[in-house]
Amino acid sequence: MEISNVNSNPFVTSAKVEEDDEKEVKEEQTGEAAVKNPLEKGETDKAEFSKSSSALTQDEVQDTVERYIKDKIASAPPEVAAKLSQYLATFDVAKFIRDNGNLSIAELYAVLYNKTADYE
């Protein structure tokens, strides 16, 4: 009983595998080259923000801070609620904006979280 279609030379089989691997690598490289680099030809790497990420007005900041603090007061223990109430009573929106710059809504929530986290 003889096995047919078997190459007795292992180097020929190995060479064929290497050739196939090289072809695959070349195909992958040409496929990657076809993907456009966004910074080619003088294009700039600039983030574009939607209108919703624009700076808040003074009234919007005041309203957001009041809602945020009142929500925290509702679920806080009495001693924390007292500190939060004091913060809200002495809150100066003009000074807050001056100290923190023009903030988007997400940035405002981050600043508020940082300012009130130590109250808990």
What token pair was written down for 56? 């808040």
Q: What pLDDT score was predicted for residue 112?
A: 93
Q: What is the mean pLDDT of the chain?
A: 78
Classify the phi-psi angles of 4: left when phi > 0, otherwise alpha if psi is within -120 to 50, otherwise beta: beta
Q: Is 109 or 12 the better-scoring residue by pLDDT? A: 109
Structure tokens at 51: 């209108």
What tens digit of pLDDT does each residue of 21-69 get?
777 766 666 665 555 665 666 666 554 544 445 788 999 999 999 999 9
Cβ 7 vs Cβ 13: under 8 Å: yes
pLDDT for 51 equals: 44
Q: What contacts 114, CB < 8 A, 6 or more positions away?
A: none
The closest alpha carbon to 64, from 104, 114, 98, belongs to 104
Distances (CA, A) of 111 to 8, 33, 61: 73, 43, 11
Angstrom distance (rounded) from CA 100 to CA 92: 12
- Residue-level pLDDT at 52: 47
pLDDT, residue 49, reads: 44
Q: State the average pLDDT over residues 8-28.
A: 65
User: Averaged over 91-114, what is the pLDDT?
Assistant: 92
